[in-house]
Amino acid sequence: MTDYKLLINGKLVAGASTMDVINPATEEVLAKCPRADKNQLNEAVAAAKAAFPAWSRKTVKERGEILMKLSQAIQAKAEELGRLLTEEQGKPLPAAIGECHGAAGMLAYYAGQELKDKVLKEDDKVKIIQQFAPLGVVAAITPWNFPLLLLMLKVGPALLAGNTVVCKPAPTTPLTTLKFGEIAKDIVPPGVINTIADQNDLGSALTSHPDVRKVAFTGSTATGKKVMESVSSTLKRLTLELGGNDAAIVLDDVDVKDVAPKVFNGATMNSGQVCLAIKRLYVHESQYDQMCDELAKCAKAAIVDDGMKQGTQMGPLNNKQQYEKALGYLDDAKKNGKVVAGGDKMSRKGYFIPPTIVRDIPDTARLVQEEQFSPILPVLKYKDVNDAIKRANDTQYGLGGTVWSKNTDRALEVARQIESGTVWVNKHLDLPADIPFGGAKQSGLGKEMGREGLEEYTQSKIINMAKA
């Protein structure tokens, strides 16, 4: 897996120029990646547009069969793709291979879905049908934390519904997407899937392109707002999966020793670069000291290293920009709170940040207010659970959240009051393919996954017939 090409109109092509992709564990150049220019972007959209009529005329079953082949091909190459994913993204190899299996599983799920017409009403006088028509060309834009899985959340439903796609990964993790394009080349008709790579410079040309009918975007809230603006002139359909600052609320009845490692994993998985990671932790004053101590133990025991090394639990952050941002949060933590584990820059090459636990930090600190997207967890004390709920909701974000308690009725009562798209109780990051997922407030718009995630790629159309 050393040669990389864009996929445009069924052909693997070189980019107009190239760009370096850096291995975040070594800071060395991993690969020269083709970089598309605006002409290639236009060619990719034109190819997708030209492929749309024939692809959309196939039956859902036919498209499902092709999607299943794509799923199987990814499954067969999961180890190879996983290694590449670790090298470009940084996550530990087992997690990277797991992401590839997850990506294949997502395609397999959509391959088995149906899009039958729904009869909404029928009597002697009338029959009203709801039909789900494809939209046309979909732009699938992804971030760098789960490049392959997040792409399949878009490609699966888009293709099954009869659309064609142009995929655009983030500039620091384009390689697995380009390899996906190579795999797709031999399975889908030319133009149905196209891949381009850029240096963060083609996004707006793609989202504002008049021939793109829907934008499916995952990334930061700031970029999501720009995307929303750019689709407004053509009123494109839009799904936005954006940032989060998810709170975990631990009720005062838990077994701290049991919950602490689960919360720690929820906060530090993928080195904290998860939109739905636990980013703020609220703990009752009666268990606060014990929870901080247990979390510190977990942090001190975690193995932080190159994701390629066996036994690594946490790899580096994905890129220099994110790394420097995280160093800023470490400074903030030291200034405003008390660091009980981690906290210092690691003296080695690579964008490594140690898992860090911060206590006695005010709600006004940057680490609490902003999305840190790194393994630095602020632990906040509360007396009254209503106060914890209020503080948890005091944010522009509303992606996820967790509640921990031995009493599920109490936990449910709290979960109901969290303003977010998903709340887990006594677990975290369980995302079944058939359950819709999406953000509240400024964490997103629309849904991915499940039936709702499929309908987002269709135009609902009502046919209202008078009976003779």
For ligand NAD, the closer CB: 23 or 89 = 89
CB of 168 to ligand NAD, least distance (A): 6
The single residue of 87, 99, 241, 455 carrying the catalytic annotation is 241
Are 448 and 399 in contact by the 8 Å Cβ rule? The answer is no
Which secondary structure element, helix H or strand E, spans residue 226, and what is its range?
A: helix 221-231
Q: Is 23 in the site for ligand NAD (CB under 6 A)?
A: no
Helix, strand, coil shares of the chain, percent, nearest 5, are: 40, 20, 35
**Cα–Cα distance, 72 to 258 (Å, whole number):** 38
**Cα–Cα distance, 316 to 305 (Å, whole number):** 7
Binding mask 88-127 for ligand NAD (x = CB under 6 A): ----------------------------------------
Q: Is 227 in the site for ligand NAD (CB under 6 A)?
A: yes
Are 21 and 172 in contact by the 8 Å Cβ rule? The answer is yes
Q: Of the candidates 22, 148, 275, 389, which one interacts with ligand NAD according to CB under 6 A?
A: 275
CB of 242 to ligand NAD, least distance (A): 5
**Cα–Cα distance, 47 to 153 (Å, whole number):** 22
Q: Is 200 in the site for ligand NAD (CB under 6 A)?
A: yes
Q: Is 399 in the site for ligand NAD (CB under 6 A)?
A: yes
33 forms bridges with which residues in the sheet? 19
Q: Is 207 in the site for ligand NAD (CB under 6 A)?
A: yes
**Residue 275 appears among annotated catalytic residues:** yes
250 forms bridges with which residues in the sheet? 283, 404
Number of chain residues interacting with ligand NAD (CB under 6 A): 30
Binding mask 232-261 for ligand NAD (x = CB under 6 A): ---------xxxx-----------------
**Cα–Cα distance, 104 to 107 (Å, whole number):** 5
Q: Is 219 in the site for ligand NAD (CB under 6 A)?
A: yes
**Cα–Cα distance, 162 to 237 (Å, whole number):** 15
Region of 52-60, 61-69, 167-175, 299-307 interacting with ligand NAD (CB under 6 A): 167-175
Q: Of the candidates 55, 329, 373, 382, which one interacts with ligand NAD according to CB under 6 A?
A: 373
In single-letter form, the type of residue at position 213 comes to R
Q: Of the candidates 444, 446, 450, 453, which one interacts with ligand NAD according to CB under 6 A?
A: 444
- Residue where the block lists tokens 């039909």: 131
Q: Of the candidates 89, 163, 194, 218, which one interacts with ligand NAD according to CB under 6 A?
A: 218
For ligand NAD, the closer CB: 63 or 154 = 154
Long-range contacts of 38-43 (CB under 8 A, 24+ apart): 38/202, 38/205, 40/6, 40/8, 40/13, 40/15, 40/16, 40/196, 41/166, 41/196, 41/198, 41/202, 41/205, 41/206, 41/209, 42/209, 43/8, 43/9
- Give 248-290 as a DSSP string: EEE-TTS-HHHHHHHHHHHHHGGGG--TTS--EEEEETTTHHH
Region of 156-164, 214-222, 263-271, 290-298 interacting with ligand NAD (CB under 6 A): 214-222
Q: Of the candidates 6, 47, 67, 141, which one interacts with ligand NAD according to CB under 6 A?
A: 141
Q: Using CB positions, name the residue nearest to ligand NAD.
A: 203
Q: Is 226 in the site for ligand NAD (CB under 6 A)?
A: yes
**Residue 241 appears among annotated catalytic residues:** yes
Are 78 and 180 in contact by the 8 Å Cβ rule? The answer is no
Region of 40-48, 93-101, 139-147, 334-342 interacting with ligand NAD (CB under 6 A): 139-147
The single residue of 275, 292, 294, 371 carrying the catalytic annotation is 275
Q: Is 86 in the site for ligand NAD (CB under 6 A)?
A: no
**Cα–Cα distance, 292 to 276 (Å, whole number):** 21
Q: Is 4 in the site for ligand NAD (CB under 6 A)?
A: no
**Cα–Cα distance, 87 to 172 (Å, whole number):** 11
253 by Cβ neighbours in 10 Å (0-12 / 13-18 / 19+) ranks as middle
Closest C-alpha among 194, 120, 119 to residue 155: 194
CB of 464 to ligand NAD, least distance (A): 36
CB of 114 to ligand NAD, least distance (A): 25
CB of 273 to ligand NAD, least distance (A): 7
Could you give the residue numbers annotated as active site? 241, 275
Residues contributing to the site for ligand NAD (CB under 6 A): 141-145, 150, 168-171, 200, 203-204, 207, 218-220, 223, 226-227, 241-244, 275, 371, 373, 399, 439, 444
